[in-house]
Structure 1
Amino acid sequence: MPFIEHLDHLVLTCVDLDATKRFYTFVMQMRLETFGEGRVAFHFGAQKINLHVRGAEVSPHAHLPAPGALDLCFIASVPLDEVITHLGHCGWPIVEGPVERNGATGKLRSIYIRDPDLNLIEISEALGAPAA
C-alpha cells in the first residue's frame, strides 16, 4: 500500500510579494496567513501554498526555485460558471476554456488563467465518473 496520503502544502516562488498576495487572496479567494519570521502562506481547504520571494528563499528549498515554473490545478467549491463570473468582476483574463480534462479522480470542466508570475492555474469542477 502506498504511504503517501495527501498533499499538505507546496511552495511557490514569486517576484512581487504584494501582487502575489492580491492574486491569491482577491482573485483566488484563499485565506492569507503569516507564520514564523514573517513568512506568507495561502490556505484553501485542508492545504496551503507557502510563498518564497525570489532571492530570499527559505532553506531548504528547491534546487532551482523559479517564478512561473508551476502548473497547478484547483477544484472549485462552486460551479465553474460562478468562478468565470468572479474572474470577470476581478478583470482577470481566462487564457483557455472552459474545456474538458481528466483529473486525479475523474473528468473535469476547466478554465486556465495565469498568476502574476505567469504560473499556469487551472480551475476545475468535477463532471462525474472517474477518468480511465
Structure 2
Amino acid sequence: MRIHATCLDHVVLNVSDLDASRRWWSTLTGARATRDHEGEVSFVVGGQAIRLREGVPAPRGSISVCLLADASIHDLYERAEELHAVQGEIHPRTAATAPVQALTLEDPDGYQVELATYTPEGAPVP
C-alpha cells in the first residue's frame, strides 16, 4: 500500500466555540463553510478540508497548520491583520517542497496557523 503523495484529505480540529471558529477560519481562508451529517463544519481549501468539531480543544500551541497561498506575503499580512491575529513577524521557513515566507497566527483556541507563500526564488518541486 502507498499513500498518495498529494492526498491529505482533511484535518479535524476540536474547537470550543463552533460559530466563532467558523467565522475566523472563513475570514482567513475565504472559503465557504459547509456542515456535514456529523455536525462538523468544513472548509475546502486547496482540495483538502479543514474540519471543525465542537469539543475540547488540544492544549494551546500544540497544533500547528501551514497554509500555502498564491499571494504576496504582504497580502497575507493584511489578511491576518483583519483577524487581529498576527503573532510575530514575517519569517523564512522550509516547507515540504520549497522555501517559503510565513507569518504565524493564532486561532480562537490557540492553534497556530502559518500563512505562507513561496519565496521569489523558490518554487514548488513537482
TM-score between both structures, scaled by the size of structure 1:
0.80
Structure 1 residues 130, 91: closer, same or farther in 2, change over 3 A?
Answer: closer
Q: How many residue pairs are counted as aligned between the two chains?
A: 120
Structure 1 residues 78, 72: closer, same or farther in 2, change over 3 A?
Answer: same
Structure 1 residues 130, 26: closer, same or farther in 2, change over 3 A?
Answer: closer
The separation in 2 between residues aligned to 1:35 and 1:110, in whole angstroms, is: 31
Counterpart of 1:45 in structure 2 is 46
Q: What is the identity percentage for the equivalent residue pairs of Structure 1 and Structure 2?
A: 29
The separation in 1 between residues aligned to 2:16 and 2:80, in whole angstroms, is: 22
TM-score between both structures, scaled by the size of structure 2:
0.83
Bigger Rg, structure 1 or 2: 1
State the Cα RMSD in Å: 2.1
The separation in 2 between residues aligned to 1:130 and 1:45, in whole angstroms, is: 14
The separation in 1 between residues aligned to 2:15 and 2:112, in whole angstroms, is: 13
Query: Secondary structure of the equivalent of 1:97?
Result: coil
Any runs of at least 4 consecutive aligned residues in structure 1 with deviations exceeding 4 A, and if so which?
A: none
The separation in 2 between residues aligned to 1:33 and 1:49, in whole angstroms, is: 11
Counterpart of 2:101 in structure 1 is 109
Q: 93-102 vs 15-24, which deviates more?
A: 93-102
Counterpart of 2:2 in structure 1 is 3
Query: Secondary structure of the equivalent of 2:33?
Result: strand
The separation in 1 between residues aligned to 2:85 and 2:52, in whole angstroms, is: 23
Amino acid at match of 1:97: E
